């Protein structure tokens, strides 16, 4: 009996030691270098949310080095994916460069998911999308890191899909990957990026067509449900205000007044210091949609 207890205790200690090694395995120097470059990403940005790319590309290089030195470091994978997304959607000079950077981001996404899978004791690949298994196997620190890597993987793949069109998104399985990674983040860390996983799910259900055998899971009604969940998590966050306003304008005509009020709030946004580029981009999108809505309802010019 005591031998069994000792064996169980030794196994628990070994597992705890493995978890500690995994959580502490992230290389400090390249992560610090990446974080320092990332903090400067808004330097040289214009008023429409377009950034110069020198600092974010330095961040990419540093995070790539961190991943190369410690492929098991989930924090490094998440930060790398975030940096690739920013480099593509906020700092690319043209569509060709944006697509090239998103292609690199998708490759980084595949490495991130492989790193998560490697931590799951030889489980089937689908296990990376199982939040219960992630909770059971990963220590708390790495559960958070896995949720964040899933989120930025979903964002990168969603942006890649937008750049290549709806048909490619459906045909290649990109839409399903976005859904599955966003669902993991919503389960493990629903408040991350102010409910960002719910915004992703709202966009998926609101924008994708429902195609039998390919996207039978698409449900237009869920777009509003997910947008409202994000808004409940962080009603003052401009991304949630914009997301909800767009869903309301597109799908809920009786709430048009509410939608326009939210849109005007984002259109007059004063960017937060830590999100200058991102907030300027949101403000530009809100102003463009608001202009279209106002033009559509403007009375026709009088004939003289």
Map 10-39 to HEC letters: HHHHHHHHHHHHHHCCCCHHHHHHHHHHHC
- At 36-67, the pLDDT tens digits run 999 999 999 998 889 999 999 999 999 999 99
- At 3-47, the pLDDT tens digits run 444 444 444 433 443 444 444 589 999 999 999 999 999 999 998
HSE at residue 72, side-chain half, CA atoms within 13 A, is 12
Is the model's pLDDT at 92 over the cut of 70? yes
* Predicted local distance difference test score (pLDDT) of residue 24: 56
- Cα angle 165, 171, 175 (rounded to 5 degrees) comes to 70
């Amino acid at each position: 009996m005591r031998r069994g207890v000792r064996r169980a205790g030794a196994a628990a200690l070994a597992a705890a030691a493995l978890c500690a090694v995994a959580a502490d395995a992230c290389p400090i120097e390249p992560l610090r270098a990446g974080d320092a470059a990332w903090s400067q990403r808004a330097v040289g940005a214009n008023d429409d949310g377009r950034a110069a790319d020198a600092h974010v590309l330095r961040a990419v290089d540093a995070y790539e080095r961190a991943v190369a030195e410690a492929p098991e470091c989930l924090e490094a994978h998440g930060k790398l994916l975030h940096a690739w997304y920013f480099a593509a959607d906020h700092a690319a000079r043209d569509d060709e460069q944006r697509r090239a950077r998103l292609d690199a981001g998708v490759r980084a996404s595949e490495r991130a998911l492989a790193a998560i899978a490697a931590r799951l004791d030889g489980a089937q690949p689908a296990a990376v999308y199982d939040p219960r298994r992630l909770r059971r196997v990963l220590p708390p620190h790495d559960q958070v890191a896995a949720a964040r890597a899933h989120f930025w993987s979903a964002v990168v793949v969603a942006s890649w899909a937008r750049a290549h069109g709806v048909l490619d998104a459906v045909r290649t399985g990109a839409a399903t990957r976005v859904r599955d990674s966003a669902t993991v983040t919503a389960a493990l860390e629903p408040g991350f990026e102010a409910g960002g996983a719910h915004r992703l799910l709202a966009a998926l259900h609101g924008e994708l067509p429902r195609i039998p055998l390919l996207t039978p899971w698409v449900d237009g009604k869920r777009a509003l449900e997910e947008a409202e969940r994000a808004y409940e998590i962080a009603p003052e966050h401009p991304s949630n205000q914009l997301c909800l306003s767009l869903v309301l304008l597109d799908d809920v005509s009786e709430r048009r007044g509410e939608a326009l009020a939210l849109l005007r709030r984002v259109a007059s946004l004063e960017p937060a210091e830590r999100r200058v580029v991102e907030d300027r981009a949101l403000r530009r999108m809100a102003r463009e949609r608001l202009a279209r809505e106002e033009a559509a309802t403007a009375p026709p010019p009088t004939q003289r």
